[in-house]
Amino acid sequence: MKFAKAAVVGLIALSLAGCTAAPTSAPTRSAVAPTSSTPPVASTSAAVEKLPSSCEALYSGLTEFMSDDGSLVLNPAWKSGPGVPRAGYGTYEAALAGMLAKNPGLICDWAPPTGPSDTFLTTQLRHVDAATAQAATARMRATGWSCGQAYTGLWCVTNDDSTGRSIGESQWVGQGYWIASNWNNAGPRSYTPELLKRLFG
């Protein structure tokens, strides 16, 4: 996979803390305060040339970053193995899930090696046309999530820890790509910034 080069300017760190139960709906509008969490601007004039060939290629060298205690593995058989029905996409939001389902692209799951478990982090990386990008970003803004510009794309984040759990998602759309992630009780700090840096240099 070839990566375009760009400067990184002050992307925020996402704090993904532990939780104990799977969500039944999208995180609430009040989960993230836009005034304090809006990602700052980073710019680039180049574009990613192609998607990673596999989840292993995307996360090469990042195993310890993703799970420093080894409790999570990439694409465990119980969640992502052959013949296992796809259970959800990189969002809890129904309208966004419908868009992501039409052209799934690359979907990667981090979860415990044995399951089932409600602890996971899912990331979906796919191409997106202009019409879908416009519809997706309009929906993201309408949710009331914290949104801002990063790598010449729109980055929206939400995290709800009001019940003592941490359930949330991060959506980035730009340059013809959509990086969609959602989590429950899993995930490192600075997750989306790390992926953007990896893809855009």
**pLDDT for residue 39 is more than 50:** no
Task: Give the DSSP H or E segment for 149.
Answer: strand 146-150
What share of the chain in percent tops pLDDT 70? 75
97/1 Cα distance (integer angstroms): 27
pTM (predicted TM-score): 0.77
Sheet order of strands, 146-150 included: 73-74, 106-111, 120-127, 177-184, 167-174, 153-160, 146-150
Instruction: Name the pLDDT band for 82 (thresholds 50, 70, 90).
Output: confident
Closest CA to 152 of 58, 32, 40, 33: 40
Query: Given this model, what pLDDT does residue 28 score?
Result: 41
Residue with tokens 């966004």: 96
pLDDT bracket for residue 188 (50, 70, 90): confident
Q: Which of 59-63, 105-109, 131-135, 197-201 has the lowest mean pLDDT?
A: 197-201
DSSP 154-179: EEEEEEE-TTSS-EEEEEEEETTEEE
pLDDT tens per residue, range 1-26: 433 333 223 333 333 333 333 333 34
Q: Which residues contact 125 (CB under 8 A, 6 or more apart)?
A: 51, 52, 58, 105, 106, 108, 177, 178, 179, 180
